[in-house]
Amino acid sequence: METLIHLTACEAVDLLQRRDISPLDLVEASARRIAAVEPAINAIPVLCLERAREHARRLMNAAAPASLPRGWLGGLPLAIKDLIDVAGVRTTYGSPLYADNIAQRSHPLVARLEALGGIVIGKSNIPEFAVGGNTVNPLFGGTRNPWNTRLTPGGSTGGGAAALAAGEVWLAHGTDHGGSLRRPAAYCGVVGMRCSPGRVTRGTPRNLWSPQVVQGPMARNVADLALFLDAMAGFCPQDPLTFDAPQQGYLDAVRAARAPTRVAYTGDFGGRIAVDRETREICAQAVRRFEGLGTSVEEASPAIGEAEDAFLVIRGQNFLVDRETLLQTHRDRLKPDMIWNIERGQRQSASRLAWADRERAKLYGTFLEFFERYDLLITPAATTPAWSADTPHPERIDGKLPANIMAASLLNSIITLTGLPSLVLPCGFDAYERPIGLQITGRPRGEAAVLQAAALLEASLGLAGRLPIEPTQGPLPPQ
């Protein structure tokens, strides 16, 4: 049981297919690991172990598929973010308003994953309604970073990232708006991907026609992430933005990886974004590894114009569509971050929304022109390393006070506006042994090329083998 948690997801699925291990073996290994480390990290507060065992037994008793479908997980346990429904399982959205909510049916993505042999072991922790840079809520408390349990794993997919790093699960589902998948991946030393809008079904959200929020995969290494994306990707009639999966699978693409010709790196978009100095230096050094692969690395970045303001305007509108009714009915039970986002949307004029859409279109055009010269754009994945688990946001970024509660996400939110695929890859550690990550962004619908480049860089850096880790408590770094 102890050795099973050290398998990669790809290794585990291979053993499952050969019947060298069973789905029930993995469920029990996951359950044992969760029991051992949850007191230290609080990453998966809602468990559904009996449901998982029943699913494992059904898979074990079923005849093997005549030909394995792409993305076949074969009985691999995984975590689902407590923001989407799993039939028969408590789904709280991190809010006391839904403390006793039992989902009647599964989200379309969960149904897809379970049909491909994924076994839901539990629901990973989130901030209330997945709003916030720190994973803490009134129902379950806060999640801690396994690298140093004094630190946050980030938000809002902090539970999933921490669970992966500590070996509770092999794969974790997440969502991303302004970095909710990417920043926790960076803070916890795992791999996470914000996919192109429409690559993975969102089900039937209230913001049905908005490309801002996406569902996506998180894993301990790039090949595992590619496997998970193969299971997630494809057309879903409930989500009008979705489209068919590509002809070549993502795991196949990773296994045939070729180095990019030319990549661009920027630590701060020409000084437009505050990023801690040590983070910039670690990332710049890691990117140079591409030169050993025959790739040209240049310091360059596209102009970002008024992207920060445009993102906040469009984000406000998204919150208005999604959560305004909660503000009207339960204002006294919502946290300040939620109120701030919704009220920002309420104050905006139609002209301001029109301006933001025009600015977004201009930014997309600028990035398209930039990618005529470069295959990838690489930046730090986060403006700071992980900070205290007891504060909602980093107190300072590069020695300066953040302008607002979204300032720490600006590296990520700019990419959100473009709709381009973006992957976070661990690339090193700071002086306090906090993980640092790179954000690798590719061309439109260019997930395969991003995954290929990330896989080659991952092999060069040699960090993936450090997971899973034992949660430990270290010193609290100064801000």
Q: Concatenated DSSP letters for 54-76?
A: HHHHHHHHSPPPSSPPTT--SSE
Gap between the Cα atoms of 172 and 174, Å rounded: 7
Tokens of 207: 């913001």
Kindly state the DSSP code that residue 131 receives in the 8-state scheme: -
The answer to whether 335 is a known catalytic residue is no
CA 462 to chain centre: 21
Gap between the Cα atoms of 281 and 43, Å rounded: 31
Contact 119, 137 (CB under 8 A): no
The answer to whether 156 is a known catalytic residue is yes
Q: Which of 156, 196, 409, 413 is catalytic?
A: 156
Residue 328 burial by CB count (10 A; 0-12/13-18/19+): exposed, middle or buried? Answer: exposed
CB within 8 Å of 264: residues ≥ 6 apart: 297, 298, 299, 300, 301, 370, 373, 374, 376, 377, 378
Q: Which of 30, 81, 106, 124 is catalytic?
A: 81
Task: State the Cα angle at 359 between 356 and 365, rounded to 5°.
Answer: 145
Q: Which of 95, 106, 124, 180 is catalytic?
A: 180
The answer to whether 460 is a known catalytic residue is no
Contact 106, 86 (CB under 8 A): yes
Please compute, for residue 154, the number of CA atoms within 13 A of its CA located in the half-sphere on the CB side: 34
Instruction: Give the residue from 113, 96, 61, 386 showing the smallest Cα distance to 234.
Output: 113
Count CB neighbours of 453 within 10 A: 27
C-alpha dihedral sign at 436, 442, 447, 452:
negative
Tokens of 452: 């290929």
Report, as residue numbers or ranges, the catalytic residues.
Answer: 81, 156, 180
